[in-house]
Copies of this chain bind each other. A is one copy, B any other.
Amino acid sequence: MTDLTTRRTTAAVAPVMPSTGARRGIGLDEATLHDGFWKRMQDVNASASLQHSLDWMERLGWIENFDRVANGGTGPDRPGWMFSDSEIYKLIEALAWEFGRTGDQEIDAMLERLVDRILPAEDDDGYLNTCYGHDGQEPRYSDLERGHELYCAGHLIQAAVARLRTVGEDRLVALGRRVADHVCREFGADARQGLCGHPEIEVALMELARATGEERYREQAELFIERRGQGTLRPIPLLGPGYFQDDVPVRETEAWHGHAVRALYLAAAAVDLAVDRDDAGLLAALEAQWRRTVERRTYITGGMGSRHQDEGFGDDWELPPDRAYCETCAGIASNMVSWRLYLATGDVAYADLIERTLYNVVATSPSDDGRAFFYANPLQQREAGEEAVPDAVNARAEGGERAPWFEVSCCPTNLARTLASFTAYTASVDDDGMVSLLQYAAGEYRIEVAGGEVRLRIDTRYPDEGSVTVTVLAAPEGGASLRLRVPHWAHGAALERDGSTTAVETGWAAAHGLQAGAVLTLILPMHPRFSWPDARIDAVRGTVAVERGPLVLCLEERDLPDGAALDGVRVDAELAPLAHEDGALISADTAPSPHEGARRPSFGAVPAEPSGSSTLLPLVPYHRWAQRGPTAMRVFLPSRP
């Protein structure tokens, strides 16, 4: 049984702790969330998704793969993809953060039982992988392009970092160090000049260096980052070197491209390197990549990845809603990058994108019961999909229905570790004591600042309602400094203090010298609003979306009146949308599917538009789509010509 009281300083209980810089995110132990949007997601994750993931991986033999290495029973018939080990490691990381968050001994025991299984599979020299290097398997590092060995090692190391920061040194941490040392020996400056087809080891080694103070891990991460983009890897047929970002060095990249998760994990590590090395040029390059990518290659949901073929970014402005890939893991990875850039710069835009992505990608993936997930998150479902096969492995759930598990099942465990550590992204603190509130979640916050502690209580029903009340429970000498994020969409926001209300611009609303008992209330306008796409996004020309607060809304076909079809809806954009439940009502013409029955060719001599009768239609939050069962759905609705 692990004793949480032995753990290290509270300031370090977080996934990302830059070694330099004037800003840190808060630790998991610096806040206790009360009931609300994210607390509910965390609780479902803890009570359902963790065990659900464990059960599937046991059932499919992914955990037994470790036993087979330990007992010499390997062969060519290994179940699972070559990267399945990483899913167990991501689950361990999730369990580590979850135990750090709650101290739940059952969670700790679940973690320890998994460590019992993986430890015996370690080779004498610190190599740990169930797919390569043993009887009946291909040799170690014989397929760096596709083998994912360093990727798996990276996730094991991230699990070790989570353990180190939540409970301190233990056998998992020691294993992580040995695995990292093995990687440094095998891939160091004087050793094999290789890199992994899937970035991940870089961001893991960076954080391990920060958590242990061992510089050699940072040097190894740097080697991997700088080696990339030189054409070292053999291109995968039909995908090319851009798929795994081996075409252009990180410093010279203009926009993220290729496989989205690969590009974003690499970028996250590069931000870490820029920060820890105080490399302003590299940081500026990464900020420019973020701006370009967010402006031109990112969906209104924050989703990234327009293409199924390579799970990758498309060209600028290539943002089809129906074929949006928007992998859940890419949303998580986008937040990893934005969070690091926020800590490095303090720019509110990064926190804004994190919010967008959290509510509209991360929150969209899991089902209400935490036992089914979206892998891809398209913004349009043309026809109601089929029910996911219950209790079965699905391919990739390309829209339609959340599925209990996937052949490539990276998303459920990635969600698990993200939700378990969510609290860490809610606030940051600067060296000068300024506390920044970033993601609004009700709870109590006890944040260590220079010269003492700031204690706050936040009361809010955000995003259902727009008021966020912050009560200062304790402040250091001279009072507390606070700044509250005013989201970029929150035009007309106001701050109440001591009975007086002040209009605030988007960005930050700051207050200083706050003593215990001070109360601030941020009022964010939550009426639904139209969002018009940039004219360069061809795929949604002539359409409009509706947002409400941080939520993107959508129209589900099931909510249409009888006889109306989703592709017959034309929004009346002269009438502003109205708030309705947690979504909106819009005025629209509805009609049966255009020309259904009247056969005509797809291309004709005159423009064709359905004509129908005007009515009010209810929109619901996109993150809830298909929770009531399969349905056709649209985020972008054609507007009346």
Binding site for B on A (CB under 8 A): 237-240, 291, 294-296, 298, 300, 307-309, 314-323, 380, 382-383, 395-396, 407-408, 488, 529-545, 567, 573, 593-595, 599-610, 638, 641
Give 12 A-B contacts (CB < 8 Å), ordered by A residue: A238-B407, A294-B601, A307-B308, A307-B309, A314-B323, A323-B323, A530-B605, A533-B602, A535-B595, A536-B567, A541-B541, A541-B543
Given contacts A395-B240, A545-B603, contact A383 B309 (CB under 8 A): no
Partner of A602, one of B322, B534, B541, B604: B534
Is the beta-carbon distance between A603 and B531 smaller than 8 angstroms? yes
Residue of B nearest to A395 (CB): B238
Partner of A317, one of B237, B408, B541, B567: B567
Contacts of A530 in B (CB 8 A): 605
Is the beta-carbon distance between A600 and B534 smaller than 8 angstroms? yes
Is the beta-carbon distance between A535 and B567 smaller than 8 angstroms? yes
A605 to B489, CA, bound (A): 9
Where chain A touches its partner, the secondary structure class is loop
A383 to B309, CA, bound (A): 20
Q: Nearest-CB distance from A298 to chain B (Å)? A: 7
A309 to B307, CA, bound (A): 8
Contacts of A407 in B (CB 8 A): 237-238
A462 to B616, CA, bound (A): 53
Contacts of A317 in B (CB 8 A): 382, 567
Partner of A538, one of B237, B307, B539, B545: B539
Is the beta-carbon distance between B323 and A320 smaller than 8 angstroms? yes
Is the beta-carbon distance between A608 and B307 smaller than 8 angstroms? no
Q: Nearest-CB distance from A484 to chain B (Å)? A: 21
Contacts of A601 in B (CB 8 A): 294-295, 488, 534
Contacts of A382 in B (CB 8 A): 315-318
Residue of B nearest to A570 (CB): B535
A407 to B608, CA, bound (A): 42
Contacts of A573 in B (CB 8 A): 607
Is the beta-carbon distance between A321 and B532 smaller than 8 angstroms? no
Q: Nearest-CB distance from A537 to chain B (Å)? A: 7
Q: Nearest-CB distance from A131 to chain B (Å)? A: 16
Is the beta-carbon distance between B296 and A602 smaller than 8 angstroms? yes
A623 to B534, CA, bound (A): 30
Is the beta-carbon distance between B298 and A605 smaller than 8 angstroms? no
Given contacts A309-B309, A407-B238, A602-B300, contact A594 B535 (CB under 8 A): yes
Contacts of A380 in B (CB 8 A): 538
Partner of A539, one of B291, B320, B529: B320
Contacts of A604 in B (CB 8 A): 531-532, 534
Is the beta-carbon distance between A538 and B321 smaller than 8 angstroms? yes
Q: Nearest-CB distance from A67 to chain B (Å)? A: 24
Is the beta-carbon distance between B594 and A536 smaller than 8 angstroms? yes
Partner of A318, one of B309, B322, B396, B543: B322
Q: Nearest-CB distance from A86 to chain B (Å)? A: 17
Is the beta-carbon distance between A539 and B539 smaller than 8 angstroms? yes
Given contacts A316-B382, A567-B317, contact A603 B323 (CB under 8 A): no
A396 to B310, CA, bound (A): 14
Q: Nearest-CB distance from A338 to chain B (Å)? A: 15
Given contacts A318-B382, A320-B323, contact A537 B602 (CB under 8 A): yes
Residue of B nearest to A352 (CB): B601
Residue of B nearest to A239 (CB): B395
Residue of B nearest to A565 (CB): B536
A198 to B537, CA, bound (A): 36
Contacts of A395 in B (CB 8 A): 237-240
Residue of B nearest to A636 (CB): B538
Contacts of A294 in B (CB 8 A): 601
A10 to B23, CA, bound (A): 86
Contacts of A641 in B (CB 8 A): 641
Given A318-B382, A535-B638, 19 other A-B residues pairs in contact with their CB atoms under 8 A: A238-B395, A239-B395, A240-B395, A296-B602, A317-B382, A318-B322, A488-B601, A532-B606, A534-B594, A534-B608, A535-B595, A535-B610, A536-B595, A538-B540, A538-B638, A539-B539, A545-B603, A573-B607, A641-B641
Contacts of A307 in B (CB 8 A): 308-309, 323
Is the beta-carbon distance between B593 and A536 smaller than 8 angstroms? yes
Is the beta-carbon distance between B605 and A531 smaller than 8 angstroms? yes
Is the beta-carbon distance between A535 and B609 smaller than 8 angstroms? yes
Given contacts A322-B538, A323-B318, A538-B539, contact A532 B298 (CB under 8 A): no
Contacts of A537 in B (CB 8 A): 602
A605 to B300, CA, bound (A): 13
Residue of B nearest to A306 (CB): B323
Q: Could you say which of A309, A316, A318 has the most chain B C-beta atoms within 10 Å of its C-beta?
A: A309
A122 to B120, CA, bound (A): 52
Contacts of A383 in B (CB 8 A): 315-316
Contacts of A318 in B (CB 8 A): 322-323, 382
Given contacts A309-B308, A315-B382, A320-B323, contact A300 B238 (CB under 8 A): no
